[in-house]
Structure 1
Amino acid sequence: MSAPHATLLADASSSAFQNASANRPAPAARSACFHCGQPVPAGQVLAEEMDGQRRVFCCGGCQTLARTLHSSGFAHLYGDEARFARPIDDAARRESEPVWAAYDTPELRSQFVRLLDGGRAEITLAPENIRCAACAWLIEQHLGRLPGVESTIANVATRRVVVRWRDAEQTVSALLAALADIGYVAWPFEVSRSDQADRRARRSLLMRMAVAMLGMMQVMMYAWPIYTHEATIDPGMLQLMRWASLALTLPVVFYSASPIFSGAWRSLRQRHMGMDVPVAIGVAAGFVASTVATVRGAGEVYFDSVTMFVAFLLAARYLELRVRQASRSGAEMLARQLPATCERLSVEGSAPERVPVARLQCGDRIRVRAGEIIPADGTIVSGASELDESMLTGESRPVHRSVGDIALAGCYNTASPLEIAVARVGAGTRLAEIVAVLDRALAEKPHLAALADRVAAWFVATLLALAAMTGVVWALWIDPSRALLVTVAVLVVSCPCALSLATPAALAAAGAALSRRGLLLTRSHALETLARVTDVVLDKTGTLTEGCFALTGQQTLGPMPAAQCLTLAAAMEAGSEHPIGRALVSAAGSAGADIGGVSMATVRNVPGQGVEAEIHGKRFRLGRAAFVAGIRSANGEEQIKEADTASGPGATQVWLGGEAGMLAVFALSDKARESTPQLLEALSRYGARCHLVSGDSVETVQWWASRFGMAHAVGAVSPEGKREYVAKLQREGAVVLAVGDGINDAPVLAQAQVSIAIGSGAPLAQAGADAVLTHGNVAEIAQALALARQTRRVVRQNLGWAFFYNVVAIPLAATGVVTAWMAGIGMSVSSLLVVANAWRLLRAGRNGV
């Protein structure tokens, strides 16, 4: 549902609606309108007797609506607990009219309005505060009176309103304005193609299942007396009951079971033994034999078995369909929540305009208010706010974003207005890249699923041969009258539905669970390979660490206090885009320093050396030791040596000094991700060996390895050296998971059996890894290993159950112990158990493993 489409309208009217609901007087009060609760204008007398009481109104419209509602039996809705929302006020209307007008543009009309024959149009609207049948009736009556409107259907359950009108006589904005006039905030609702297909599939399967269930119950009503009192029933009545059972079975076979027959025919045309083939043969054989017996008036009929089998089979398939649809990625859901319009800021002096998102171009500036969703990727140029990126990155808490930070399409602005310079739109956004990656993954068939399909194909061929042998044995040597029934039971009971569902159901559920946690599988084999991982090769910068500088130490060398030194250094770097400068400014901001209070006369940047500034007539330098010492410090070298001995491995030193000497030295280094200890601890618990392989100096890598408690670490390794390191592990029998940033680690990611790229830096569409982590919580990598192993256990459980069921059930059916209707129940229950077992992985993904 595209709720952000009407954010401005909702914001404008919500307060008015809440005030009207909270402060409305009792029905008998004369100072407020009985219908909408607005004050009655002084001197105006519009009153009418209703329910034995005198009611006053603010206008003739409210009076007419109230009179109509009372005459239609909705008078109870005027109690103290329930009232209608009043129309939005003039200020809110002026603010909302540009939003409504945007839906009349060609871009949005093509997206939301469905053109019909005869110059007619249709649209689905989503009113925000529709609550009951009276609301639906009021909307239908009000919109139905508009010029050109042919029909209006309001559904309370779905909170949707479908309006059909003559296109030349009405506009979308007029419909939205008309709803606002009676207090219903609404916006156009777009049902995506996948949603439409899902809905059609569910409705079709549900209708077929309902027909089969009804047919099964009715046929059993006729079959039960035959089973229990056949000898006492008049032959004529018995034959009539058989004809009635045939009539009731016809819609079950030709309507409910039609997908089974079409699937079987498709499999046979492709020379592939699918699981529909034995089912179709069993249903057809049972129905034809029963029909022949009914026409002849002699022989056994199996209408009850046929209808029961079809009903239970469709019930299992309906549950499977719901699981498959529930396993869809959250990224597709998010893509449908992008706003249809946005507020574009024009050139200076021009008023902002509300335009369709489809018109945005790179370089445009847009304003995103609190409560709206960002429509395109860009850079924040004004304002600061908290962005909810949970649907995009998996990060559950809103993150702070300010000037210079990246804002991604699909993120929800929770706090304050932002102005954003658009950088990427449409298919170029990070969200579109995520959807493309998922589409690529879904297009490939996992090895386990393909193997299961091949096994099922051989199983079906074996089953058909076994069923034929069973029929021949019963017809020639045991009991010819039961040969057909036993053969049908063998075909039904051994249907490989559970076998074919065992693997894909588990893989789909696990993939959906991982995507909700921000880990997107881009290769079909990733999940099954993750379950076998023995060694994990990790990069340092950008993987175990943030990949950005942070102030990790400060040493004062002169009379100036440490806080003042930090403030001065940050002021000299204010506005700098260099990572060191940003780290100093961030550290000063965290310490509460006021860098804006430092007045500098001149600032000179010396490339590769540092910054020189003049403050109150004195010169200061910030940068390399030699550059700062060159400001004519007498004891500069001694102080440099002293600070060097205090520096830790991997730290970058930034010096601050003046004409009187050195003032301070700052140590900046990369900082570890907060989730790195959790990742390493979990991997160790799961028995995976961790290796730190980095291109940094040997001393730096060893220092970080000691800090992380990693026993295997090598430094100063080239990209080719990283690949050889992984190849050596593989030659020793290891299954390697490589984790890196996806760019400079491309060789090692390609060499490993499975790889994960941290997707915060590289475009996801270019990531060559088997999976992409869309956020910085690397602990999810360990969760992925755990979920992959659980998925492997679930697949084995499902396959074990499917084979055990068939090993037990087929002999029972072949010996006549299990009848056809029992076989239908057994096959359906088997499939239900497999799907329900796979469904547990969805819950594991939500709650952690």
Structure 2
Amino acid sequence: MSAVLAPCACFHCGLPVPAGSRWSVDVDGAARTMCCPGCEAVAASIVASGCADYYLNRTEFAAPADLAALAPPELVLYDAGAATDDAVSDAVYSVDGIRCAACVWLIERRLRGVAGVRAADMNVTTGRLSVSWNDAECRPSTILGTLRQIGYAAYPFDPQRHGEQLERERKKLFRQLFIAGLSMMQVMMYALPVYLANDGTMDADMTALMHWASLLLTLPALLYSAQPFWRGAWIGIKTRMPGMDVPVALGIAAAAGGSIVALLRGEGDVYFDSVTMFIFLLLGSRYLELSARRAAAGALENLRHALPAAAARMALFPASRRTELVASSALQAGDVILVRPGEAVAADGIIVEGDTDVDLALLTGESRAQRRAVGDELPGGAVNTGQPVLLRVTRAARQSTMALLVELVERAGMGKPRIAQWADRVAAWFVAALLLFAVAVWVAWHLIDPARAWQVAVAVLVVSCPCALSLATPTALAAATSRLLRSGVLVVQPHVLETLHRATHIIFDKTGTLTRGQPALRAVRLFGAAARADCLALAAALEESSTHPLGAALRAAASGPRREARELRQTAGQGIEGVVDGVHYRLGSATFAGAEHPEAGAPSDDASLVFLAGPAGVLARFELADALREDAADVVRQFQRRGMEVILLSGDAPALAARVAGQLGIARALGGQMPEQKLAFVQALQAQGAVVAMVGDGVNDAAVLRAADVSFAMGGGSDLARMHADCVLMSNRLSDLGDCAQTASRTLAVVRQNLAWATLYNTCAIPAAALGMLNPWMSSIGMSVSSAVVVINALRLRAKD
């Protein structure tokens, strides 16, 4: 029997709800009031995991939910439907309370020690945790319970809730920063006169009054603004995994405690101004870091929200043009939808009526509107900026281009490259070494000058906080991947930039990669008196409604006003005929057009020939072939200048592969390669010590893309290729690959700069503090400036060249 809910009681735990409560969760279609954010988090997690029936079957209310400790019975609800065999499961969770890179290190290290957990990767940029586990040894409740034990609340990832949580964290951090800044300014008003009164102009009573006022004004910063440091330090000590919050909290506590003792004794120095300054500056650097992380995650989240929730479907088209509003998820292939101006396309489709301009910036990074007409494809997520069009859906929304990109986004950034892992390990050992060093410094100064021992130890703790060291890599990688995404490059795996920078060989597929993968007009041969432009216009008129790739190529090549063809009749596999301006024309194969002309010529091995004939005979021959991308030669030369060996690896005929390689200046080309041969070739290079980058687009490239050290898939390629690649060129521009290589070089340079700065700073600052050359307030400024320099330097990567 379900528990009975009293009026104004929490739906989850049954306790009274405070007046003006803003916490609520939708359960069974109704908004249920909660008494606190802890109950809200638990209830939302239960509903999100599909276990809302818990509330119908419970016999008593749950215990009040604390974000730091969730009751085991509630955690078990996450195990509903879990497998019982040896299958491997994975899930993505949102984690609250991520404060710095040390939090990521703590979470990953703790979870990887849980029996059955195969992988745990925390993305500090997005606040998401990806976990893989063996169902026979581990359950979701074990994972979530482990996180709660170390002070982190986690729940199944939900974009809306995750965004709201990030916004709440930002607002709370801003309030803490504001209070700390206010306290710092007020304390300075009382501390400054004391500093200036060195000539005895201020008596002892007035000095004591100033110090007591400083203490009272410091309390808000200590009790409220410094909460993140107290909480983080306590978790680190409790779990025996000290993070960066431990030296910070010890420094604050030591400075504040020593000042209070000196104030009570009436002798010694007080550092309330240093305490408030330290708290303010450190919170300021954290707020800057949080802003950088949110900016980097924003571009990824925009992809997630690009598809509209509903679409206007014409169920009876063409018999009726009446529309009905349906969920985008309900769209199926063959449905016809109306896309109005200003609306986003709900699913991939082909325009069947109307022409318009579309904004593809979110998908390709192209800021200029693109013209689309009848027969053109539109991807889901494109925004209609022109006229209304009718679109015939080609793939269900869940299989659309945008859905695939969202799936790739889920994988993006869920791990860390080796250089980031190295920085995290160094930071972890650095904290432990720092604590021991601070104790040693205190002992040494206690023997040399006991009056200064406390001050020097505090300065060491404050100045040496390893924030800059841990922020050096993740902030640079986040800024770089955000900048690339805005240009139409989706970095899926974390090692892309690092590995591309180290690559010794880059291998290109031919069709669809170095070439467009679709025919284009290469040459026109005229056999009569008609002009070239007239022949192309006639061919375009006959092919106006054709969906054949050759027809599309002829339409694209024609210029000037379009003509209209009537009485069209198509012969399968041969061609099309019709009347243009009262004259009958035929367009198609040589036999269909009657092109038994002695000068018709034999087709080349890589071209298709289409003939245009009129009443007087053959007028023109159109030679169409897969054209090279305009930027292919520049990209090849760019990688050659970088010292990389460029190789063409294709399944096409060796002669054709060699011809394309010659046009692009590629010295080594292998044609006629089957998928298994491509894979063996790459593995052979790797066995010789090569670091291989692979660029492809087809289904037959999936295996070799997965095997390469770093791989890139063209955005217009097959879904399988994109799913197996480490990076997707959503813009379908090969030039973006060159941009990615330049960004990789810049990113690694910034990472090295950041690490060098952090190392140089600690090498200089720590000895200076240990020798008594820095006061606590000077240490506060130094530590905060060091962290800010790292973040600001990394943010330079977000700017386009």
TM-score (norm 1): 0.70
CA offset digits 1:152-199 (Å, max 9, x no partner): xxxxxxxxxxxxxxxxxxxxxxxxxxxxxxxxxxxxxx9943442332
**Residue of structure 1 equivalent to 2:58:** none
Match of 1:466 among 430, 437, 440: 437
2:337 maps to 1:366: yes
2:689 maps to 1:721: no
**Residue of structure 2 equivalent to 1:823:** 779
What is the distance in 2 between the residues matched to 1:527 and 1:553?
41
2:222 maps to 1:253: yes
Answer whether contact 1:433 1:765 (CA < 8 A) is retained. Answer: no
Label 1:684 to 1:793 Cα distance change in 2 as closer, same or farther (>3 A).
same
2:467 maps to 1:497: yes
2:392 maps to 1:392: no
2:706 maps to 1:737: no
**What is the CA-CA distance between 1:656 and the residue it aligns to?**
5.7
**What is the CA-CA distance between 1:260 and the residue it aligns to?**
0.9
What is the distance in 1 between the residues matched to 2:527 and 2:788?
74
Answer whether contact 2:698 2:721 (CA < 8 A) is retained. Answer: no
Match of 1:297 among 256, 266, 272: 266
Match of 1:604 among 571, 574, 584: 571
**What is the CA-CA distance between 1:392 and the residue it aligns to?**
1.5
Match of 2:452 among 471, 478, 482: 482
**Residue of structure 2 equivalent to 1:842:** 798
2:477 maps to 1:507: yes
**Residue of structure 2 equivalent to 1:206:** 174
Label 1:561 to 1:297 Cα distance change in 2 as closer, same or farther (>3 A).
closer
What is the distance in 2 between the residues matched to 1:324 and 1:472?
40
What is the distance in 1 between the residues matched to 2:576 and 2:309?
49
**Residue of structure 1 equivalent to 2:649:** 693
**Residue of structure 1 equivalent to 2:43:** none
Label 1:661 to 1:345 Cα distance change in 2 as closer, same or farther (>3 A).
closer
3-state secondary structure, aligned to 2:565: helix
**Residue of structure 1 equivalent to 2:296:** 327
**What is the CA-CA distance between 1:229 and the residue it aligns to?**
2.6
What is the distance in 2 between the residues matched to 1:750 and 1:765?
9
What is the distance in 1 between the residues matched to 2:341 and 2:702?
40
Fraction of identical pairs, as percent: 45
Q: Residue type matched to 1:395 in 2?
A: E
What is the distance in 2 between the residues matched to 1:415 and 1:302?
64
Label 1:345 to 1:226 Cα distance change in 2 as closer, same or farther (>3 A).
same
What is the distance in 2 between the residues matched to 1:288 and 1:533?
54
CA offset digits 1:6-43 (Å, max 9, x no partner): xxxxxxxxxxxxxxxxxxxxxxxxxxxxxxxxxxxxxx
Q: Residue type matched to 1:242 in 2?
A: H
Structure-to-structure mapping, 1:91-106, within 5 angstroms: none
**What is the CA-CA distance between 1:480 and the residue it aligns to?**
0.9
Match of 1:450 among 395, 398, 421: 421
What is the distance in 1 between the residues matched to 2:475 and 2:579?
69
CA offset digits 1:509-566 (Å, max 9, x no partner): 0010011111101111112112212322111111111101122123345677766765
Label 1:586 to 1:300 Cα distance change in 2 as closer, same or farther (>3 A).
closer
What is the distance in 2 between the residues matched to 1:805 and 1:389?
45
What is the distance in 1 between the residues matched to 2:521 and 2:756?
56
Answer whether contact 1:239 1:294 (CA < 8 A) is retained. Answer: yes
Structure-to-structure mapping, 1:573-612, within 5 angstroms: 575-587=545-557, 589-590=558-559, 592=561, 594=563, 596-597=565-566, 599=567, 603-605=570-572, 607=573, 610-611=574-575
Label 1:559 to 1:204 Cα distance change in 2 as closer, same or farther (>3 A).
closer
CA offset digits 1:260-308 (Å, max 9, x no partner): 1111222233332311111111111222222233333343322222111
Match of 1:805 among 743, 761, 772: 761
3-state secondary structure, aligned to 2:240: coil
What is the distance in 2 between the residues matched to 1:361 and 1:820?
64
2:750 maps to 1:794: yes
3-state secondary structure, aligned to 1:716: coil
Q: Which moved more, 1:224-233 or 1:428-437?
A: 224-233
Answer whether contact 1:449 1:503 (CA < 8 A) is retained. Answer: yes
Match of 2:193 among 199, 208, 225: 225
CA offset digits 1:654-693 (Å, max 9, x no partner): 4567999766443210012222233223323433332222
Q: Which moved more, 1:825-834 or 1:282-291?
A: 282-291
Answer whether contact 1:540 1:693 (CA < 8 A) is retained. Answer: yes
Match of 1:439 among 394, 406, 410: 410
What is the distance in 2 between the residues matched to 1:684 and 1:539?
17
Match of 1:774 among 730, 733, 750: 730
What is the distance in 1 between the residues matched to 2:796 and 2:671?
42
Structure-to-structure mapping, 1:646-685, within 5 angstroms: 648=604, 650-655=606-611, 664-685=620-641
Count residues in correspondence: 649
What is the distance in 2 between the residues matched to 1:765 and 1:296?
73
CA offset digits 1:329-362 (Å, max 9, x no partner): 4242254465555433343676634636457522
Q: Which moved more, 1:226-235 or 1:675-684?
A: 226-235
**Residue of structure 2 equivalent to 1:522:** 492
Q: Residue type matched to 1:523 in 2?
A: Q
Label 1:765 to 1:201 Cα distance change in 2 as closer, same or farther (>3 A).
farther
Unaligned runs of 5+ in 1: 1-108, 119-189
Q: Residue type matched to 2:357 in 1?
A: E
